[in-house]
Structure 1
């Protein structure tokens, strides 16, 4: 009898573990991504490697606007090492709490699902590292704390193996409330 490769088994088990977005359906306040990300939003975050060591801190200035059925979210990153990056998301509601997203450095489409105060995104991001590019999978969870504050924790992996975590705090500025 042939056994499945260990790598395939690890990836399968990793995909089965953890909560479902529907587990948060009763939580309040309700997160409507199409509403929360409209206008100006600020964020502060960090990346930690798989051992939990802080690798990089960053801030993000975001502007979201509705264009037809889409939310266009322009993110501008400023990293602690002085580097900058920009990402423009095009987010589309699909109904039933489901979303899809596209950005230039996202491979294919991001798949999102919202329920209660939670939103989960899953996508592959093409990351530049030391002059090379790597396709890294993100499992990205967002939780609305109040009408103006959102916590975000994303795990990064490659071939099912953890690489690290990104933690962010989003806040609507006083002028946007």
Structure 2
């Protein structure tokens, strides 16, 4: 019995160490300051403005693609307040609309609201990157689950942003999204 308990304690310790390493070294360990000198600098009033085309994939918890999508977006700004309308089409044929209401503070802080968020999201734009953290409620057709989301967006050039998002339930990653957003010339 003691061999089993030793094995079990070793497994628990390994799980704790892996979780700690991911928290301290992985995706969620990124900070805005990590990208402060990354050029060109992102400004959501410019880079999330006008027509935008998005293509992406969603990975399930085992790292396999579970869904592909395209989206047509349109951003409109009045000073530091903006609306980003998104119209998604998934490979299953499902369509989804979301309207983000964004506010940019003079210090680069971002607050975000949308009808399917639980409370407000918050984030920061610094250098060539921005991040958002929020809690989203999935549609009933997708289970109605509430997930914690971390978005990181990296400016590639004046017209292209790469977005990487992780979705967690009880701290466990259940999905990841990778997408490219490209401003469309009007």
| TM-score, shorter chain, exceeding 0.5 | yes
Q: Which of the five TM-score ranges fits, normalised by the shorter chain?
A: 0.7 to 0.9
Structure with higher Rg: it is 2
Match 1:101 to one of 94, 103, 112: 112
Partner of 2:30: 19
Q: CA deviation at 1:16?
A: 5.3
Partner of 1:122: 133
Spell out, residue by residue over 1:46-101, the C-alpha distance to the aligned partner (whole angstroms, 9 max, x if none). Answer: 11011111100000101111245411111000000001000000000122110101
Note if contact 2:45-2:80 (Cα within 8 Å) is conserved in structure 1. no
Spell out, residue by residue over 1:112-141, the C-alpha distance to the aligned partner (whole angstroms, 9 max, x if none). Answer: 111110101000010125463111010100
Partner of 2:7: none
Q: Unpaired runs of 5+ in structure 2?
A: 1-11
RMSD: 1.9
Partner of 2:70: 59
Compare the two structures and name the one with the higher helix fraction. 2
* In 2, Cα distance between equivalents of 1:170 and 1:47: 15
Partner of 2:93: 82
Count of aligned residue pairs for this structure pair: 167
Q: Unpaired runs of 5+ in structure 1?
A: 1-5
Match 2:122 to one of 111, 132, 140: 111
Assess, with a 3 A threshold, how the Cα gap between structure 1 residues 96 and 78 changes in structure 2: closer, same or farther. same
1:145 correspondence with 2:145: no
* In 2, Cα distance between equivalents of 1:96 and 1:16: 26
How high is the TM-score relative to the length of structure 2? 0.83
